[in-house]
Amino acid sequence: MVSVIFPAAGHGKRMGLGFNKIFTELSGKPILIQTLLTFSRCDCVDELIIAVDVNEMEVIQKVLSKIPRLKPYKIVAGGSERQYSVYNGLMAVSPDADIVLVHDAARPLISETVIQNVVNEVMLSGGAVCAVPVKDTTAEINEMGFIEKVPDRNKLWAIQTPQGFKKEILVEAHKKAQEDDFLGTDEASLVRRTGRAVKLVMGSYDNIKVTTPTDLLMAEMLFSHKTA
By CB under 6 A, name the binding residues for ligand CTP: 7-14, 21-22, 51, 78-82, 85, 104-106, 209, 211
Taking the complex as a whole, how short is the minimal distance between the CB of residue 104 and Mg ion, in angstroms?
9
Q: Give the sign of the dihedral formed by CA 22, CA 25, CA 31, CA 33.
A: positive
Taking the complex as a whole, how short is the minimal distance between the CB of residue 142 and ligand CTP, in angstroms?
25
| Helix, strand or coil, per DSSP, at residue 113 | helix
7 or 164, CB closer to Mg ion?
7
Strand-pair partners of 132: 158
Half-sphere exposure of 58 (CA within 13 A, CB side): 1
Q: Which does 104 bind (CB under 5 to 8 A by kind): ligand CTP, Mg ion, none?
A: ligand CTP
Taking the complex as a whole, how short is the minimal distance between the CB of residue 205 and ligand CTP, in angstroms?
17
Taking the complex as a whole, how short is the minimal distance between the CB of residue 182 and Mg ion, in angstroms?
17
Give CA separation, 191 vs 11, 55, 107, in Å.
Answer: 26, 30, 22
Per the CB < 8 A criterion, the answer to whether 88 and 76 are in contact is: yes
What residue is closest to ligand CTP based on CB? 10
Q: How far apart are CA 143 and CA 115, in angstroms?
A: 39
- Where does this chain touch Mg ion (CB under 5 A) — which range of 9-17, 93-101, 163-171, 191-199? 9-17
13 or 153, CB closer to ligand CTP?
13
Residues lying near Mg ion in the complex (CB under 5 A) are found at 10
